Chain A
Amino acid sequence: MNRAENIKRMYEQAKLDTITEKDKAVLEKMKEIYLRESKAENNISELSVWRIIMKSNIIRFAAAVVIIVAILLTLNNSSVDITSNVYAEITENMQEMPWVYIRIIAESQTDDEKRTAVVDLWYSNNEQVIGMKDSYKSKYSYYQNEKKYDYDLDTNSITVSSIDQSDYSNSLINLQKGFDSWIMQFSQSNEGDEINHYLGELEGEKAEIYEYQSEDGSGKLYVNSVSRLPMYAEFNNIYKNNLVNTQIHFEFPESGPRDIYDIGVPNDAQIIEN
């Protein structure tokens, strides 16, 4: 055995013990700090950023689609029929997809701080599943099995509760109501906005781009020219004097998450039957 290995062996064999009481004290302090920071982060970063897209009563997974509607509605200013047709076509195409995956990234920039919130959404009309994940909680609602799973990061636990199968269609109805109310608000406040519609490319695929500029902000939506499905949307708005940038990525996979673990919940999370 060479010299280095001798020294290393001595280091490895050298014992060290810790005092249990002190361990407990340090661990308690760590937990206290973790929870305090976690709450502050949730309060500041998530809520303030998300309020801008969540202020209506629409369920969360609809938020991304609602923003598309906002853009399309802006086009209403120039031609109601065309916009309605585009909106109907896109939403109909989305409903036919086995799975829809949407990632929403919202960034709020102030003079001295940048805050980011990320939400992942999955839903499937075929499977009747809605999944949602952000940085501190995950939800997986499996309507066919009438079970809902809520994961809490702080306690590393999954609460299982019952849901009614019909709630899925209720969710869709609520979504439609949300669209309508949003459309009305938007159409009243954005009259005269500048709108462009042109052809372009996104990641090598041909896209139709809908772009608007208004006093309140700007937005851009990419729709796949062939499939007529949304690809990507981006918005810049001023909210409480802060610039908020929202990016929405769309994917339409053949399959989606089979359970809450598939959306990133740790396997060792404690199960709580409610």
Chain B
Amino acid sequence: MVVKTFRIKPGKLSIKDVEDAYLNQKNSLLKFAYVLVDNVENAEDIVQDVFLGFARAAGAKENLSNIKGYLITAVLNKARNYYRDNKKSSNETLDCADEIPSNNKSPEQWAIFSEQLQLLSKAMGELPIEQREVVSLYMDGCLTFKQIAQIQEASTSTVQGRFRYGIEKLQHLLRNEVTK
């Protein structure tokens, strides 16, 4: 995995900064959104909206000193809106193989997700939302538990507990995959 860095740049962003941010961050954001919402189309819509909002903010000369932090937070917020608007049915399981998206791309499709990522996303969908957020942010490797605690407005120990339970459940759901 490419190490993602927080880019600190004083002042305003040029059009090239915006382009670079898109090229450098699109794949990791799509992946991040996908494991959060477990839905290809919604993940794509979320990330596209986030990038368009980012371009708008950069054009309006807003001070975006932490590009990665801005983008991750924006995806997280949109994912929360998605949870709120699209409460998932609780009887979905990993056995719902027909719901795993096909890699035969549709004309509108943006991203092609590997089978491994689809399985991971499906397993993540089994976790409560709070645990899913913590595990996703951990896997994306950009935030500490303390920073995640601030985002979730919870204590660090609560976040660590969510992480531990989430990982245990994922390990159970993906027991055949993680040992490959």
**Interface set of A (CB-CB < 8 Å, partner B):** 3-4, 6-19, 22-23, 26-27, 29-31, 33-38, 40-41, 45, 135-136, 153-156, 264, 266, 268
Contacts and interface: CB of A to CB of B under 8 A. Distances in A.
Nearest to A11: B139
B129 interface: no
Interface in B26-64: 26-27, 30-31, 34-35, 48, 51-52, 54-56, 58-61
Interface in B99-119: 105, 108-114, 116-117
B153 interface: no
24 contacts: A7-B174, A10-B116, A10-B178, A14-B120, A16-B111, A17-B112, A19-B105, A22-B109, A22-B110, A26-B51, A27-B22, A29-B52, A29-B55, A31-B15, A31-B19, A33-B55, A34-B55, A37-B55, A40-B60, A45-B61, A136-B61, A156-B15, A266-B14, A266-B16
Name, among B14, B54, B141, B171, the residue most crowded by chain A CB atoms within 10 Å (CB to CB). B14
A9 B139 CA distance: 8
A129 B177 CA distance: 65
A136 B12 contact: yes
A29 B163 CA distance: 37
Contacts of A27: 19, 22
A266 B109 CA distance: 35
Interface residues of B, number: 51
Contact of A6 (B14, B16, B113, B178): B178
B167 interface: yes
A154 B61 CA distance: 11
A33 B59 contact: yes
Interface of B: 1, 10-12, 14-19, 22, 26-27, 30-31, 34-35, 48, 51-52, 54-56, 58-61, 105, 108-114, 116-117, 120, 135, 138-139, 141, 163, 167-168, 170-171, 174, 177-179
B120 to A, nearest CB: 6
Contact of B114 (A16, A19, A36, A154): A16
B179 A38 contact: no
A4 B178 contact: no
B109 to A, nearest CB: 6
A34 B15 contact: yes
B100 to A, nearest CB: 13
B16 A156 contact: yes
B138 A155 contact: no
A33 to B, nearest CB: 4
A4 B167 CA distance: 6
Nearest to A154: B15
Contact of B59 (A8, A19, A23, A41): A41
A23 B12 CA distance: 24
A9 B171 CA distance: 12
B55 A18 contact: no
A29 B91 CA distance: 39
Contact of B27 (A18, A29, A156): A18
Contacts of B61: 38, 41, 45, 135-136
A16 B113 contact: yes
A104 to B, nearest CB: 16
A264 B178 CA distance: 47
A71 to B, nearest CB: 30
Contacts of A135: 11-12, 61
Given A38-B59, A154-B14, 13 more contacts: A7-B167, A7-B178, A8-B139, A13-B1, A14-B113, A14-B117, A14-B120, A16-B111, A19-B105, A29-B52, A30-B54, A34-B15, A41-B60
A61 B67 CA distance: 32
B14 A19 contact: no
